[in-house]
Amino acid sequence: MTATTDGSTGAALPARAAAASDTTTATLTTPEAAGVPEAAARAARRATDVLLAAQDDQGWWKGDLETNVTMDAEDLLLRQFLGILDETTTEAAARFIRGEQRPDGTWATFYGGPGDLSATIEAYVALRLAGDAPDAPHMAKASAWVRERGGIAAARVFTRIWLALFGWWKWADLPELPPELIWFPSWMPLNIYDFGCWARQTIVPLTIVSAKRPVRPAPFPLDELHTDPERPNPVKPLAPVASWDGAFQRLDKALHQFRKVAPRRLRRAAMNAAARWIIERQENDGCWGGIQPPAVYSVIALHLLGYDLQHPVMREGLASLDRFAVWRADGARMIEACQSPVWDTCLATIALVDAGLPVDHPQLVKAADWMLGEEIVRPGDWAVKRPQLPPGGWAFEFHNDNYPDIDDTAEVALALRRVRHHDPERVDRAIGRAVRWNLGMQSRNGAWGAFDVDNTSPFPNRLPFCDFGEVIDPPSADVTAHVVEMLAAEGLAHDPRTRRGIAWLLAEQEPNGSWFGRWGVNYLYGTGSVVPALTAAGLPVSHPAIRRAVTWLESVQNDDGGWGEDLRSYQHVKEWSGRGASTASQTAWALMALLAAGERDSGAVERGVRWLADTQRADGTWDEPYFTGTGFPWDFSINYHLYRQVFPLTALGRYLHGDPFERNLLARPDRTARRAAAPQAAGG
């Protein structure tokens, strides 16, 4: 296991505290007057050395996955609820939470973002658990800000659920989630498979919590977070009955009435069915879905049904949550919402090969061995919509066999194709299964979502409960682009299914020439994904869509030569589209698109490459405090600590050595004919 500079395990990259420092204080490498190619080559060599040194002995890479302090606050609240909160954990978490507080007393959900009401409430409560006095200056400033924004009553539903667990909010004033939902057939509106997999895994355990309505004794009052402590739960007016919001608000009222008359045996049977669903989906490492929120709520739900903390399901579930903790050198403890080893490993492999590392380098072979061992070969929840489709693919995390990821599967296939493995037939078989599975997961419109097929129901987002972010998984440009690029690498660029994906991408281009980025920020990520995919699939660089993309990228380049985009572009604020402080990962995405579009010798590319070379630290890394990844656009943002390393190296490598397709790393003639004859995938 490789230790990071922050004392955690995983990729040896700078910690959050170091990343947030002003770049003017960093030691920067200044390229000599020899020229941009020479500077790029030096930067690529240093970045390669850093990445090779960060690989785990088992062959994988993993950078820290940083989100926001609600993960840390909810971890403490869970432990308080279960009666297992200890002083060491509390103080370490509180140290991290205090360090993330902004000067105005608030907490944001991303670096440089505005204060967020729910995050501030949850962080404040966590610090109260840690013993911080409400009249301490940092606490008083936070509570005053909360009251000015409407208090607890204005917070999101999830925040109020956590408070209801301790009597700080009334369960009756929360949206109802009946456990009978577990019995809805897949053709019925609002069945659990209408929700994206991350929401589905969270909602099922919460139906049990909602039915039980537990209250643990509150360790202190929270009157200071209410605008009116005498009436802390104000009644909100209903929307017009003819509106969707009004209709679902009235449905929620009806469900509250049903709760009063629901037969006890029926409700108990529904909760037991939900519990079986939860237990069946526990992963081998004890977690659920490889992500923290479903694990937290699953533990609470099962505990309410009588599972004691020593039960194997509970014991392993709690142990898995401990593995989400990143302990830092200063004694602070940060909770990752998720871990990304498969994603990080395939991106690192692609970066190293594209930067010129020999394709049979031992560390690349070790990475390929590890990825091959992570292939998922059993059905998961995706089979509800595709019961005849054979399995094959990769998840994002160490363990998440129920939910392989279409995006990860495409990128792993692209990574494996770059490595000269000692067992090429094994690689062929694994990629063949992945191609078949990805083709079978194509949605009706010709595009791809991240986890499910045609997960586009308009109803889940309308529920009063679902105010925490995106709860469905519609096709997106970035995922579709990665699949198209993978299919092109497998000699299937002219397959009708690939052409449908290309047609969808062309139709989704924004009027300004960019593409929306669902899983990365934002139009820079979407455009940086789509342009390389389209050119790999055979679109000429003279194609109007490619030229519009180039024009847009050139128009949003910063004066310093880099590119950046603020998360506020997700709020449809035009001035933020492609605009923001330059970052290493977003500059790399822009460069990858421009290079794929044949712009290697352009001034924009030269300035971008020079910016990467100029801002690289002496140790071969880049500083990137900004969040350039997303879980839910705007609502849940991610700083992938490895992005600042893998994407710049990929861009520099392609600048120095050319496109991977042109270099014959992909779509080699010995495979093309065989792959072009691939059978039609079941359900595609």
Contact 64, 341 (CB under 8 A): no
Residues of the chain with pLDDT under 70: 1-34, 235, 667-684
Amino acid in the structure at residue 584: A
pLDDT for 106 equals 98
Q: Classify residue 261 as left (phi > 0), alpha (psi -120 to 50) or beta.
A: alpha
Roughly how many angstroms between the first and final C-alpha of the chain, as a whole number? 41
User: Scanning the structure block, which residue is given the tokens 């002083």?
Assistant: 87
Kindly list the structural domains of the chain, giving each domain's residue range(s) and its CATH number in brackets, ordered by start.
Answer: 44-63+340-453+475-665 (1.50.10.20), 66-225+252-335 (1.50.10.20)
φ, ψ of residue 66 in degrees (nearest 5): -100, 130
Q: Classify residue 543 as left (phi > 0), alpha (psi -120 to 50) or beta.
A: beta
The rounded distance, in Å, linking the Cα atoms of 531 and 515 is 9
User: What token pair was written down for 334?
Assistant: 């940060």
pLDDT tens column, 44-71: 999 999 999 999 999 999 999 999 999 9
pLDDT tens column, 102-124: 999 999 999 999 999 999 999 99
- Give CA torsion, residues 205, 211, 217, 223, to 10 deg: 100
Pairing of strands 65-66, 325-327: unpaired
User: Scanning the structure block, which residue is given the tokens 């895994």?
Assistant: 201
| Dihedral sign from CA coordinates of 362, 6, 30, 608 | positive
Which H or E element spans position 629?
A: strand 629-632
- Give CA torsion, residues 415, 416, 420, 425, to 10 deg: -170
Residue 581: name the closest of 7, 23, 95 by CA: 23
The rounded distance, in Å, linking the Cα atoms of 614 and 604 is 15
Contact 285, 192 (CB under 8 A): no
pLDDT for 25 equals 33
DSSP SS3 for 339: coil
C-alpha distances (whole Å) from 97 to each of 15, 126, 378 are 15, 8, 40
pLDDT for 12 equals 37
Chain Cα centroid distance, residue 516: 16
pLDDT for 478 equals 98
**What residues act catalytically?**
407
pLDDT for 34 equals 52
pLDDT for 235 equals 66
Q: How many residues would you count in the chain?
A: 684
What predicted TM-score, i.e. pTM, was given to this entire model? 0.91
